[in-house]
Chain A
Amino acid sequence: MFRSLSLTTRLTLFFTLAAAAVVFGLALLVIAASERHFIELDHMALQDKQHLIENILARSNSTEDAKWLLREALSHHHGLYVSVHDSKGETLFQSEGFRPPRELPPADESNAKYKLQHWADEGRAFRGMGVRVIPAYDATTRLDILVAMDTAHHTRFMLELRRTLMTYAVVTIVICGVLGWLAAYKGLAPLRAMKSRATTLTSQRLHQRMPVDAVPIEMADLAHELNKMLDRLEDAFTRLSEFSSNLAHELRTPLSNLLTQTQVALATRRDADAYREILASNAEELQRLGRMVSDMLFLAKAERGMMLPNRERFSAAEETHALIEFYEAVAEEKGVRLAQRGEGEIVGDRLMFRRALSNLLSNALHHTPPHGEVTIEISQSSQATRVSVENTGEDIDPKVLPRLFDRFYRADPSRSHPETDGAGLGLAITRAIMQAHGGSISVTSAQGRTRFCLEFPGGT
Chain B
Amino acid sequence: MKILIVEDEPKTGEYLRQGLSEAGFVVDLAQDGTDGLHLALQGEYDLVILDVMLPGLDGWQILQSLRRRGLQMPVLFLTARDQVEDRVKGLELGADDYLVKPFSFAELLARVRTILRRGRSGNESTVLRVADLELDLLRRRVSRGGRRISLTAKEFGLLELLMRRHGEVLPRSLIASQVWDMNFDSDTNVIEVAIRRLRAKIDEGHEVKLIHTVRGMGYVLEAPEEH
Q: Which residues of A contact B (CB under 8 A)?
A: 276-277, 279-284, 286-287, 289-291, 293-295, 297-298, 301, 307, 309, 322, 325-330, 333, 351, 354-355, 358-359, 362, 420, 422-423, 426
Whether the pair A362, B185 counts as a contact (CB closer than 8 A) is: no
Whether the pair A358, B216 counts as a contact (CB closer than 8 A) is: no
The reply to whether the CB of B194 lies closer than 8 angstroms to some CB of chain A is: yes
| A423 partner residues in chain B, CB cutoff 8 A | 187
A354 to B182, CA, bound (A): 8
CB distance from A278 to the nearest CB of B (A): 10
Q: Out of B84, B181, B190, B215, which one reaches A280, CB within 8 Å?
A: B215
Whether the pair B104, A362 counts as a contact (CB closer than 8 A) is: no
Whether the pair A326, B187 counts as a contact (CB closer than 8 A) is: no
CB distance from A365 to the nearest CB of B (A): 8
- The 6 A-B pairs with the shortest beta carbon distances in the complex, nearest first, are A283-B216, A280-B215, A280-B216, A422-B187, A290-B102, A326-B180
| A284 partner residues in chain B, CB cutoff 8 A | 215-216
Whether the pair A327, B190 counts as a contact (CB closer than 8 A) is: yes
CB distance from B86 to the nearest CB of A (A): 12
A426 to B188, CA, bound (A): 11
Interface CB pairs A-B, < 8 A, 11: A276-B215, A280-B214, A294-B82, A294-B102, A326-B182, A329-B190, A329-B193, A330-B190, A333-B197, A358-B186, A362-B187
Question: Secondary structure of the A side of the interface?
Answer: helix
| Supplied contacts A326-B176, A359-B187, 16 more A-B pairs, CB within 8 Å | A279-B216, A280-B216, A283-B217, A284-B216, A290-B102, A290-B104, A291-B187, A294-B82, A294-B185, A325-B154, A329-B154, A330-B188, A351-B184, A355-B184, A358-B188, A426-B187
The 8 A CB mask of B97-110 against A (1 = contact, 0 = none) is: 00010111000000
Within 8 A of A (CB), among B175-206: 176, 180-190, 193-194, 197
Q: In this complex, what residue of A is CB-closest to B197?
A: A329
Q: In this complex, what residue of B is CB-closest to A358?
A: B186
Whether the pair B185, A295 counts as a contact (CB closer than 8 A) is: yes
A307 with B215, Cβ < 8 A, contacts A327-B190, A330-B193 known: no
Whether the pair A354, B216 counts as a contact (CB closer than 8 A) is: no
A284 to B197, CA, bound (A): 22
CB distance from B202 to the nearest CB of A (A): 15
Whether the pair A294, B190 counts as a contact (CB closer than 8 A) is: no
A328 to B82, CA, bound (A): 31
Whether the pair B154, A293 counts as a contact (CB closer than 8 A) is: no
A297 with B82, Cβ < 8 A, contacts A322-B180, A351-B183 known: yes
